[in-house]
Each structure stands twice: as structure tokens, then as C-alpha cells.
Structure 1
């Protein structure tokens, strides 16, 4: 195909979900939208939890991205908001290569570390919003 021909465009919905190795979350809202233009994907989501059993896992992941991230391009960029969190440091996330998952991390004193779901969801009711762009 001609590289100057725009013939790959898609938009749709996706269902974001946090992957926990223990405990559980109850959601009242899990809404996600995306646009894919060529190999560039832009996604947004909004989630609201209304209950939890205490998760104790170390590496919090968010699953359900509409497309896996490729291994060649840069990690992508994200803007996120969460209100009921006791995580210290700068919270960030990035797409994990070759799967439809985001890794959730926190940076303290220049060191990036996994986020505990127990700290990230420190109350039963929490709101999480995300906007991320990445390459497939």
C-alpha cells in the first residue's frame, strides 16, 4: 500500500479492569474509548470502584487495552488521576510490550517501583481516569 494513503482508522469502546493477584474490586463504572490511526492508538478510560476486599499484591496492572503495544516504538505517554490513593511519589503507567496491559509504578527519589494495590485503592470508593497514547 502507498505509505501516504490513510487506510487504517478505527474507533471503539474497551473495558478497563485492574488485574489483582489477590483481593477483589467492585466497579460501578468501567468505561473506555479509543481511536486507532495507523499504528498510533489513543485511549481514555474512567472507572469507579464501590467496594473492595483488601488486595495485597505488589505489581498492580490494568488490563483490557484495545491493542497490544509493539516492542519497537517508545513506551507512550499517559495522564492519569486517582482519588483514594495513599501511594507516595509520582504515579505513572506504561504499556507492557506485546500484551494489552499497563504496568502501574511510582517514582520516589528517582527510583521506579511497583505499586501495591492496597495502597492504590486505600478506600472502597475510588475514581480512576486515564488518557494514554502508544504505538501498536
Structure 2
């Protein structure tokens, strides 16, 4: 003879409410927060020039060549108060050799700080070396 199994108890409304919890308001983002230009495959700079990711992370030898030959080089980020957005900060051409001395030996390594270099192309045909810093 088959036995009837007892029915499973149903969850009470109070317990079910504790599982779902009250609606939480959406977390406000800091106005200067931005995803990485690498993750977005590009960015728009303060001069409204659109830059598109071409390749990367680059081999350190190619990155070194671009540190000299690229039209622009970025390292770090800047904040535009008028447009309320963050974008990669351009390095003056005179500061590139010193920046490469800092980056060169720590490009594509596992130790911190480390750097990864990427090549971007501008909508106007210029080349940009973008250096991402990991601390």
C-alpha cells in the first residue's frame, strides 16, 4: 500500500518579504566616474575628438616606439568641470621621455604598479598611445 507524503508547508508572507526585502534606491554614481576607454573601445576627449581602440595591450617595444612617434600620449585622467566628465589626460610632448622611463620596465608585468599600453586612432587620423595604470 502506498503512503501519502505530507504536504510541504508554504512560506508565510512575513518570511517571503524578508527574502525579497524592500526596494533599494539606485546607487548614485560619482559624476566623474567613467569606464575605462579600453572597456568602451574608445572615448571622446575634451576637444570632442572621438578616439577608437586599434590594438592592445601592446608589446613593450611597440609601446616604446609609439611613445616617440604617436601624435599624442595619455597617462592618468583629467576632469572637465564644464562637461562634468572624466577623460584620459594628455601628456605634453616634453614629458614623454620621463614618462616612458617610469613605464618602460613595468609594462606588462605582474608586479604593482604596472602599466598596459594601447593604441587608439582619432577620427582625424592621428595616433594616440594610451597607458593604463594599475596600482
Shorter-normalised TM range: under 0.3
User: Quick one: higher RCO (CA 8 Å, sep 6+), 1 or 2?
Assistant: 1
Q: Which has the larger radius of gyration?
A: 2
Structure having the larger proportion of residues in helix:
2
TM-score normalised over the length of structure 1 = 0.24
